[in-house]
């Protein structure tokens, strides 16, 4: 799995002008699923995301996690993260999971995140054309790829 994480002051996602999810201070997570991803990837990513020290402490140093600051989470599926543009001008989606597998894994990711923390967890709509608005804080943006042994 691949996650683009952005520290935000606020973020929201809407479909057809209807807001499906919104958060205040916290993390916006754009999530893509690969064909060989497993529940181990989900567990590893959730542990990593919830423990990352990327929020400022009283001295302004990044030494607090999203849990430490009682932040919120907005999770959005985004298969285009696996778009391969090395050849030609049309992205290849061969590195992305099939829609059925991606939905199953995305739903498990969201459910596992909800079970793993007491933070507000909002989400978008799988396979919908979404409009995402955010105020990036920092900006702090990280790309996190789960460590599947077959990939490395």
The torsion of the CA quartet 42, 110, 31, 64, rounded to 10 degrees, works out to -80
Q: What is the pLDDT of residue 103?
A: 97
Annotation says 127 is catalytic: no
Model pLDDT for residues 128-147, shown as the tens digit of each residue: 999 999 999 999 999 999 97
What is the CATH class of 2-145?
alpha beta
Model pLDDT for residues 75-112, shown as the tens digit of each residue: 999 999 999 999 999 999 999 999 999 999 999 999 99
Indicate the average pLDDT of the chain.
95
Q: What is the pLDDT of residue 147?
A: 79
Give the integer Cα–Cα distance in Å for 23 and 111.
17
Q: Which of 6, 55, 78, 123 is catalytic?
A: 78
Annotation says 80 is catalytic: yes
Main-chain phi, psi angles of 103, to 5 degrees: -65, -45
Model pLDDT for residues 113-122, shown as the tens digit of each residue: 999 999 999 9
Q: Which of 55, 79, 109, 123 is catalytic?
A: 79
Q: What is the pLDDT of residue 6?
A: 98
Structure tokens given for 55: 């929020």
pTM for this model (two decimals): 0.94
Q: Does residue 49 carry a pLDDT above 80?
A: yes
Q: How confident is the model at residue 149 (pLDDT cuts 50, 70, 90)?
A: low
Q: Does residue 40 carry a pLDDT above 50?
A: yes
Sequential DSSP letters for 99-128: HHHHHHHHHHHHHHHHHH-SS-EEE--TTS
Q: Where are the domains of the chain?
A: 2-145
Q: Does residue 151 carry a pLDDT above 70?
A: no
Annotation says 141 is catalytic: no
């Amino acid at each position: 799995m691949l996650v683009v994480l952005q520290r935000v002051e606020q973020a929201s996602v809407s479909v057809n002008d209807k807001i499906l999810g919104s958060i205040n201070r916290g993390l916006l997570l754009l999530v893509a699923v690969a064909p060989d991803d497993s529940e181990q990837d989900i567990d590893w990513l959730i542990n990593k995301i919830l423990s990352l020290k990327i929020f400022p402490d009283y001295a302004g140093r990044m030494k607090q996690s999203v849990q430490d600051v009682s932040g919120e989470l907005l999770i959005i599926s985004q298969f285009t993260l696996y778009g391969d543009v090395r050849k030609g001008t049309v992205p290849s989606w061969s590195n992305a999971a099939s829609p059925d597998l991606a939905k199953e894994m995305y739903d498990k990711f969201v459910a596992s995140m909800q079970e793993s923390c007491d933070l507000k967890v909002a989400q978008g709509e799988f396979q919908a054309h979404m409009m995402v608005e955010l105020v990036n804080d920092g900006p702090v943006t990280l790309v996190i790829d789960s460590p599947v042994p077959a990939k490395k």
